[in-house]
Amino acid sequence: MAENERGNKKVVGLIGVALAVILVTLFHVGFASAVEKEERSLDSGIKVVPSAETVWNTIKDRSVDSVLGAPFFRYAMHTMPVYGKEFHSTLIEYPYGSSKRTDSLAAKSAHGIILYVHGYNDYFFQKELAEKADSAGYAFFAIDLHYCGRSLMPGDARGDMRNMREFFAELDYAVELARVITKERADSLPMVLMGHSQGGLLAAFYADHRPEEKFAALVLNSPFFDFNFNWLVRNLAIPVVSEIAMYLPDFSIGSSGNPNYAYSLDKKYYGEWLYSTEWKSESRPEQFLGWVRAIHKAQQELHRGFHINSPTLVMHGDCTEKGEEWSENYMHCDGVLDVEHIEKWAPKVGPNVKTETIAGGLHDLFLSRKAVRDEAYAKAFRFIDESL
């Protein structure tokens, strides 16, 4: 009898556990469905066009950029696409014909417009890139996304986000503003998106959701197509963290990453560049689970396949370095992402993708040593010329 009672209690216990698991599973499925529906609703799929009055007021209030100085201009943009919160972003213009090396081009119309999107823990400071684009015959613009660089406001969590779609409204604004600013030189100029690292993922993600824009070309400089971890972390741990992030998006995981990539860039160490270490720090900014989920969800869409018909160039270095100790390899390898991951996922961008391996390239190819970055510039602008 006692044995039967113990058996019955065991069965009842197992049934209770099973019911609890079922209830938790049903709750999670329902909650996840609601969260994903809300995430998709962050963008209607229709371009958010600022009013003509808003655009002209933005142009009227432009100022010389205090970071790079003349001839660079900055335009303050304000959008309220999601969360009932206003986002602040900044468009930077290098007026066409400003480069001393473009005397022969100065009187001619630009071939097209380039809009540059920076990466994570970054902002636009690459004056040489703007000059090279101008020399190649392109009107050049760059955006400092909200929570980044010039757009960082008091109390903002630098570099943070909860979904990549939250950038769409300011990219819509930047595209429209760049077109209006250059309209005096041509009625309609082809638009090229250029993005680095997280900005490369964002540029592709945005283009995939704005097919009506028919961007003339995309140039992706070491795009963030996958996390630089081993197979187990990428395929098991990150998806689990992404699910947990639905419940705890504001949970801080602190600052991570070694400073060796920064050492390869910063003139104070081994590099040749001067930039704000408050906006582009040696270690990553404080990160939150919601940011991990935002990147993971965008990468998942890419891995399933984007449908970008625009000619796309994906460039990356020829080696990866991730050692904790400083190594000379950091001066000629990607010290942030795995170049094999970039190569693997590049074909998923669309049916018209070309990949280029830049030997000796750093994570930001345009910040590599001169001979290497000159090769990257040449291949990028040749590709754009051929695409147009």
Q: What proportion of the chain, given as a percentage, has pLDDT over 70?
A: 85
pLDDT in tens, 17-28: 555 556 555 545
- Sign of the Cα pseudo-torsion (128, 261, 91, 346, in order): positive
Q: What proportion of the chain, given as a percentage, has pLDDT over 90?
A: 78
Q: Show the DSSP H helices in 41-160 as ranges.
A: 52-60, 127-135
Given a cut of 60, whether residue 277 has pLDDT beyond it is yes
pLDDT in tens, 139-181: 999 999 999 999 999 999 999 999 999 999 999 999 999 999 9
With vertex at residue 166, the alpha carbon angle to CA 235 and CA 288, rounded to the nearest 5 degrees, is 50
Predicted confidence at residue 143, as pLDDT, reads: 98
Summary mean pLDDT of the chain:
90
Determine phi and psi for 383, rounding to 5 degrees.
-65, -45
Confirm if 92 and 71 have CB atoms less than 8 A apart: no
Give the position of tokens 């250059």: 182
The average pLDDT across 195-210 equals 98
Given a cut of 90, whether residue 38 has pLDDT beyond it is no
Question: Could you tell me the pLDDT band of residue 50, with boundaries at 50, 70 and 90?
Answer: confident
Q: Phi/psi class of residue 368: alpha, beta or left (left: φ > 0; alpha: ψ in -120 to 50)?
A: beta
Q: Show the DSSP H helices in 286-369 as ranges.
A: 289-304, 339-345
Question: Could you tell me the pLDDT band of residue 203, with boundaries at 50, 70 and 90?
Answer: very high
Confirm if 341 and 334 have CB atoms less than 8 A apart: no
Predicted confidence at residue 14, as pLDDT, reads: 60
The average pLDDT across 255-274 equals 94
Given a cut of 50, whether residue 262 has pLDDT beyond it is yes
Residue 22 burial (C-beta neighbours within 10 Å; 0-12, 13-18, 19+) = exposed
Determine phi and psi for 163, rounding to 5 degrees.
-165, 140
pLDDT in tens, 343-376: 999 999 999 999 999 999 999 999 999 999 999 9
pLDDT in tens, 175-202: 999 999 998 555 579 999 999 999 999 9
The average pLDDT across 53-78 equals 96
How many residues does the structure list for the chain? 388
